[in-house]
A and B are shown apart, each in its own frame.
Chain A
Amino acid sequence: MKLLEVKDVTKNYPGTEILSHIELSLAPGESLAILGRSGSGKTTLLNLLAGLDTPDSGEIYFDQKPIHTLKESELAQLRGKHMGFVFQSYRLLEALTALENVCLPLELLEKDHAIQTASDLLAKLGLESKINQFPHRLSGGEQQRVAIARAIVHQPKLIIADEPTGNLDHRTGREVSDLLIESCKKFNIALLVATHDTELANKVEKRVELFDGVLKSV
């Protein structure tokens, strides 16, 4: 059974073909790295897979549901329930504390004991002393760990990570990538990661490379 299936997807921007006839699949709990140079179309592909953009042609299925045909509200529900996101620039809400940021997905799903669950998770990730800090008080590594906590706290089926180590130094990047992969394995979450970082890419099960909009196995 496939969690994510991409069939013959093409995406163009005026005058440029960004993605060409992409075929991709991911099983539950499986991890996949998408490599590629800047401008190769990695982020565009992730936008399509997250339902933030629509393909010009082709089909995308998540958990056997056709993402490309879903309405805006259905897509929002799908992301909230079954997906988690980790960004290069962390994207924590500056107005909320670390704990409140991690609580967000649970709040959205109206889960009980959200604060307890979130604070337990943050403690496991070594952020116990930082739970009431606002993001601007945290280091880059700490912010990314909070972002990972936010991505896994509701135990989604898939985590989409876009250059999760891009803004971090080598050592912190390694710690964060280990944490991300271990967490996914522990909770049986599929991971789709777009990265330049070959060290990170080597840690995941499968790797593909995007080159001029075409996907190749590595």
Chain B
Amino acid sequence: MTRFHSVAKWVSLRLIRKHRILAVLVIASLALGIAQRVGIGLMLDSIQNALVHQSKSFLLADIEIRSVDPISPEKLAELKTILPQNSKLQTSVECLSIAVSSSNYKSTLVSLKAVDQGFPFYGQLKLKSGQVYPNATAAISHLQRYPEAWIDPTLKITLGLKEGDIIYLGKIGFLVKGYIAAEPGEGIQGFSFGPRVYVGTSFLQASGLVSEGSRVSHLILIKLPESKNPLQIAQKIRTAWGLSEKSYQWRTPFANAAGGSDIQVTTHMEKAKQWIRLFGDVGQFFSVLSLLMLILSCLAVGTMLRGYSERILPEIGVTHLLGATRAQVAQTLVLILSYFIGLGTVLGLILGCSGFALIQWQFQAYLPTSWLGWWMAKPIVLGAIESLVFAFGFGSLPLILTMTWKPLELANGISDRRVSKRIIMALSGAIIVLIGSFFYIDTLNLKLAFGASVVLALAIGLCIGLAKVCTALSTRFSQQWSFEFQYGFNNLYRFRHHFVWAITSLSIGILCLSMVGIFKSSLLAELQQDRNQVFPDLFLVGIFDHQKDDLTHYFYQWTSKLQLSPVIKARMTHINARRVGNVTTNDEQKNYLLNREQNLSFREQTGEGEKLIAGDWMKGWYQVEASLEEWFAKKLDINLGDTLTFDVQGVTLKAKVTSFRTVKWTTFKPNFFILLSPNALKEAPKEWLGTVSGLSTEELPKIQAQLAEQFPSVTTIPVKESVDKIKRTLNLVFHAVEVLSYLAVISAIATLVSVVMLTLSFRQKDVHTLKILGFSYKAVQQAIAIEFAAIVTLSCVIGGGIGTSVSIWLLLSETNLELHIPIGTLWWVFIGFMSLALAMSFGVARYLYHSKPKL
């Protein structure tokens, strides 16, 4: 045994060396799959780890108290008695505002943060003035005495600002002292609406940005002594102030009158959980996708190893004929497999970690990230285990099958293709997927993983079935065609057991690309302005009754009409007889929708982008009626005829649901989940939501600047800027998915190359014969080109067809998006693959034809 072990070792190494190009392809394909799995795992865990361990820096405190109105002096005094000794307090105010440059009157939406002395408690704030990094603590203290601002460097370009310029925020001009080089919780800030501007809290009142009911958040940041538990202290505050633990912001100037409260007390641990939930959905999507890519690349490895095992059969078989037992032959095969998978895994882990470092470095400004640490062990080990399960599973199947052959079959390289063995292979493959997914199911969502596995299995099954049918059909019809077509198509059939997997891999890569393409273009088209869809120029949020006329008059000067929609704050208390206040279900989104502050509105008829899909529009003669948005109603299990009870700022209001509407949210027109009968809400205290259209690009900055000065409490949101930001974010996500799809395609191309390598000796024989028979290089080239072109065409038809059908089905059944197929992009994908295939075919033809034939 020991002696044979050493023989097996050198035989296996010799065999790898003999077929080294194939070995490189197998290892590269495996490494790619592992690299993306580990890289994505590391990235997701890095974010999660950062959210948990840097939550103080992200929240900027141990406990944050957030409210619409400033905390009253009585409550503040009570708070001080609750807090342990040596606790520190800071106040801060956050709001969106229009910033205007005094030098050129350019304006933009900014995320304003008014801060107190000693800011921040946690994390690091770095400020830069010229080439100098001033003491941030001193600079922040200075803000309390002088109207100065530290701004995000992007404002240098957007507003053309430089140090010493004046930036207007509301009614006050602030001197730009310098730029923010780094701020605490930078990754989280990436999700804010506009670039950050820091000013002192002492100048806020005079700016006019803060008045009763304006859309600002008042914050009290608390730093506790190390030994104190923030959760216990937060609970004490909530109990003292009569707040519920799970508070869904009840933000209204009338909240107190309604008996509710707009105060939220959050510890850094609770906030971390919220952020993790937020990232969780996106993370889960990427995790499922990376798992699929890993399975695909391991399938490619299995395909290559199958071909590889057939190629080395005669050599292995000779040892068998010479008297080596099956176990000893198996030892040689296992050694080969281990070398491949070992090398592939190590290379994949290195690549994955390097890729992660690169992505982290690129995106650290947009995402919360962690650096080196023990947290990295979990994704690396988990990724490696999953990869080993899949790679060993798929890789060993063909080798195990080889072991069932008779010695002479082995020596002659005659493969056994009995149906029973194919069924065993397919079942074994399914078991491997289940075992590999078990690790995943254990760590993530069972339903999603199961669904993804079923979809993958169906997609692969469909691809294999269609590929087989197409290759079989191709030979049927080729007999009437010229030699080039006959030879090309018959080769496709002849090597069908190899090509089916190449076509399947390529199809799935193309399937992913086509789905990404269709979803991306449909979503982006939805956010595109054209003749049919014109977005409003401005959104004005938080307009009070007394500002309505002034604002209408203001826009009248610009020959534009201000469209106003009423917004009435309310809380849903009952659906029929069922109480919904503080309801907790397993569906976090449902909890939020049930318990959050609802924005009610009313209108005489359906608005732009709205369509009545069930029931009748409100008549409201003798009862209060409600029209609900379809998704909202479905999510909360509300049916036509149900009665909803609202607490409208202290007044109880019952409404019968009489219609459902679909709403096209991407029109950026004022739209609401709940509309009630106009008569019922006319007298309710309300604020207004305004939209303005038809302003020219030259007028817009000037108007924004004037609004910021004359109506500082009204939040003005330039729609185009916001849409552009959404588009940028969407593009970023789609790019990430595209990269994963390209990895699948690379893996598929590696499979295709390996198939070509495996069939090269047969082709060589053919081409020599053709050459001897007098066939020209051109004929051989054309025949091989037809074969390769057929593979790409089949893959594009299968992958593109399935991808397009699934996308159409998903878009039509699950979203309100209009279908937009990017035919140009899909063509380019096809042309790209076709060019690659033709280039490959020319290379192969050249290599084969120019080697000298012998009789």
Contact A105 B773 (CB under 8 A): yes
Residues of B within 8 A of A83 (CB): 774
Residue among B486, B762, B776, B855 with most chain A CB within 10 A: B855
Residues of A within 8 A of B473 (CB): none
Contact A100 B855 (CB under 8 A): no
Contact B855 A43 (CB under 8 A): yes
Task: Choose the segment among A58-66, A89-97, A182-190, A195-203 that binds chain B (4+ C-beta atoms closer than 8 Å).
Answer: A89-97
Contact A94 B766 (CB under 8 A): yes
Tell me the smallest distance from the CB of A163 to a CB of chain B, in Å.
9
Contact with A along B839-855 (1 / 0, CB 8 A): 00000000000001111
Q: A91-B769, A96-B487 are in contact. Are A80 and B774 (CB under 8 A)?
A: yes
Residues of A within 8 A of B853 (CB): 52
Q: How many residues of B contact A (CB 8 A)?
A: 26
Question: Contacting A104 at CB < 8 Å: which of B765, B773, B776, B855?
Answer: B773
Contact B775 A76 (CB under 8 A): yes
Question: Contacting A77 at CB < 8 Å: which of B487, B766, B774, B852?
Answer: B774
Decide if B747 is an interface residue (CB 8 Å cutoff): no
Residues of B within 8 A of A94 (CB): 494, 762, 766
Q: How far is the CA of A91 from the CA of B774 in the complex (A)?
A: 14
Decide if B482 is an interface residue (CB 8 Å cutoff): yes
Contact A73 B491 (CB under 8 A): no
Q: How far is the CA of A77 from the CA of B490 in the complex (A)?
A: 25
Decide if A20 is an interface residue (CB 8 Å cutoff): no
Contact A43 B854 (CB under 8 A): yes
Residues of A within 8 A of B494 (CB): 94-95, 134
Q: How far is the CA of A93 from the CA of B493 in the complex (A)?
A: 13
- Number of inter-chain CB pairs below 8 Å: 77
Contact with A along B750-771 (1 / 0, CB 8 A): 0000000000001001101111
Interface of B is mostly: helix
Q: How far is the CA of A76 from the CA of B490 in the complex (A)?
A: 24
Decide if B584 is an interface residue (CB 8 Å cutoff): no
Q: How far is the CA of A77 from the CA of B776 in the complex (A)?
A: 8
Q: A46-B855, A76-B771 are in contact. Are A100 and B490 (CB under 8 A)?
A: yes
Question: Contacting B766 at CB < 8 Å: which of A80, A87, A95, A108?
Answer: A95
Contact A108 B774 (CB under 8 A): yes
Residues of A within 8 A of B762 (CB): 94
Q: How far is the CA of A79 from the CA of B482 in the complex (A)?
A: 20
Contact B486 A100 (CB under 8 A): yes
Contact B486 A96 (CB under 8 A): yes
Contact B770 A50 (CB under 8 A): no
Decide if B479 is an interface residue (CB 8 Å cutoff): yes
Contact with A along B245-258 (1 / 0, CB 8 A): 00000000000000
Residue of A nearest to B480 (CB): A115
Tell me the smallest distance from the CB of B846 to a CB of chain A, in Å.
14
Interface residues of A in 69-122 (CB under 8 A from B): 73, 76-81, 83, 85, 87, 91-97, 100, 103-105, 107-108, 115
Q: A52-B855, A100-B479 are in contact. Are A95 and B775 (CB under 8 A)?
A: no
Tell me the smallest distance from the CB of A139 to a CB of chain B, in Å.
15
Contact B479 A79 (CB under 8 A): no
Decide if B772 is an interface residue (CB 8 Å cutoff): yes
Tell me the smallest distance from the CB of B758 to a CB of chain A, in Å.
14
Residues of A within 8 A of B768 (CB): 91
Residues of B within 8 A of A100 (CB): 479, 486, 490
Decide if B631 is an interface residue (CB 8 Å cutoff): no
Interface residues of B in 221-244 (CB under 8 A from A): none
Residues of B within 8 A of A47 (CB): 854-855
Residues of B within 8 A of A96 (CB): 486-487, 490
Residues on B close to A: CB < 8 A?
479, 482-483, 486-487, 490-491, 493-494, 762, 765-766, 768-776, 779, 852-855
Instruction: Pull 9 A–B residue pairs with CB atoms less than 8 Å apart, ordered by A.
Output: A47-B854, A50-B772, A52-B852, A91-B765, A91-B772, A96-B486, A134-B494, A160-B855, A162-B855
Q: A79-B774, A104-B775 are in contact. List 6 more A-B contacts (CB 8 A).
A: A76-B774, A76-B775, A85-B773, A85-B855, A87-B855, A108-B774
